[in-house]
């Protein structure tokens, strides 16, 4: 992807190259996505978080998270294609809590998986990440819809595995919605544990772009602002890993 020197995407690209991550506010991220495609089904896309099933693997440990999952293949010149449904796998090296097992989640609803908003997000990621790794001929792409729920008796844990890497090349974390929650601050660390930065995804379209091999990331637990009312944090996580 040839990016004009005055393009708004240059600042996030430079930040990822320099620091290994970039916090992109909604005021910047929304126009970047609009430049990559169509977001006309965004309201339906965001509403689909209300249809997520529970994460059965975390439920077994007493933690509450809802999610759906989809897999795609991507090439820099030919775009992104939905792949057959398959499990999500991480080694214990990257996930001390749930590593070395195949985890099957409900698939992303087909209308959303092929919908305009998600296709636009994936097109942006394909261009952005491919520009950071121009020698990569193709990508294994995974999409995760997450809802973290909190209650007056139990904080929600966006990253129950703690500060971690995902075992991929690049990560996008895009905020979809926050409802009645406090905290949820993203923290960035070097591999030796040195704090590198922190920020909070507050508004829909706020985003984090991460070069996973270089930095660790985590999110602080969320708690309800009004204890007896529903409280949740909805995010879309997209990972790109070079296909071997």
In whole angstroms, what is the distance from residue 206 CA to residue 29 CA?
7
User: Helix, strand, coil proportions of the chain in percent (round to 5)?
Assistant: 25, 35, 40
Pull the structure tokens for residue 44.
């339906």
Q: Could you say which DSSP state residue 83 is in?
A: P
Based on C-alpha coordinates, what's the Rg of the chain? Answer: 17
Contact present, 198 and 184 (Cβ < 8 Å)? no
Instruction: Give the per-residue pLDDT at 230.
Output: 92
238: Cβ contacts below 8 Å, ≥ 6 apart: 121, 122, 125, 141, 142, 143, 144, 171, 172, 174
Other Cβ atoms closer than 10 A to 193: 8
Residue 16, H or E segment:
helix 10-19
Instruction: Collect the ranges in the chain with pLDDT lower than 50.
Output: 1-2, 5, 62, 99
Quick one: CATH architecture of 26-178+191-242? Sandwich (2.60)
The model's pTM: 0.92
Question: Closest by alpha carbon to 214, among 9, 15, 6?
Answer: 15
Instruction: Give the per-residue pLDDT at 96.
Output: 58
Instruction: Give the per-residue pLDDT at 120.
Output: 98
**pLDDT tens digit string along 179-215?**
999 999 999 999 999 999 999 999 999 999 999 999 9
Instruction: Give the per-residue pLDDT at 244.
Output: 80
Which residue matches tokens 């008796």? 153
C-alpha dihedral, 201 to 112 to 28 to 142, nearest 10°: 70
Instruction: Give the per-residue pLDDT at 44.
Output: 98
Give the domain ranges of the chain: 26-178+191-242
**pLDDT tens digit string along 206-242?**
999 999 999 999 999 999 999 989 999 999 999 999 9
In whole angstroms, what is the distance from residue 143 CA to residue 176 CA?
14
Instruction: Give the per-residue pLDDT at 97.
Output: 55
How far apart, in Å, are the Cα atoms of 219 and each of 35, 81, 127, 197, 208? 29, 30, 26, 12, 12
Question: Closest by alpha carbon to 144, among 54, 228, 238?
Answer: 238
Question: Closest by alpha carbon to 186, among 213, 153, 222?
Answer: 222
142: Cβ contacts below 8 Å, ≥ 6 apart: 69, 70, 71, 72, 88, 168, 238, 239, 241
């Amino acid at each position: 992807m040839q990016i004009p020197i005055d393009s708004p995407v240059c600042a996030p690209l430079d930040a990822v190259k320099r620091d290994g991550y970039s916090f992109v506010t909604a005021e910047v991220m929304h126009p970047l996505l609009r430049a990559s495609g169509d977001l006309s089904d965004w309201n339906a896309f965001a509403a689909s978080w209300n249809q997520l099933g529970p994460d059965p693997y975390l439920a077994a440990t007493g933690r509450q998270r809802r999610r759906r999952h989809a897999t795609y293949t991507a090439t820099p010149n030919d775009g992104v294609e939905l792949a057959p449904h398959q499990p999500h796998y991480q080694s214990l090296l990257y996930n001390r809590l749930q590593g070395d097992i195949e985890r099957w989640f409900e698939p992303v609803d087909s209308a959303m998986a092929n919908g305009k908003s998600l296709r636009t997000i994936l097109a942006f990621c394909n261009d952005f990440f491919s520009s950071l790794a121009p020698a990569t001929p193709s990508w294994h792409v995974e999409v995760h819809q997450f809802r973290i729920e909190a209650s007056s008796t139990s904080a929600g844990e966006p990253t129950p595995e703690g500060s971690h890497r995902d075992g991929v090349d690049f990560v996008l974390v895009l905020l979809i919605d926050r409802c009645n929650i406090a905290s949820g601050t993203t923290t960035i660390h070097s591999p030796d544990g040195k704090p590198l930065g922190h920020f909070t995804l507050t508004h829909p379209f706020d985003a984090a772009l991460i070069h996973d091999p270089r930095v660790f990331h985590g999110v602080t637990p969320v708690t309800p602002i009004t204890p007896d009312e529903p409280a949740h944090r909805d995010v879309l996580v997209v990972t790109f890993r070079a296909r071997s």
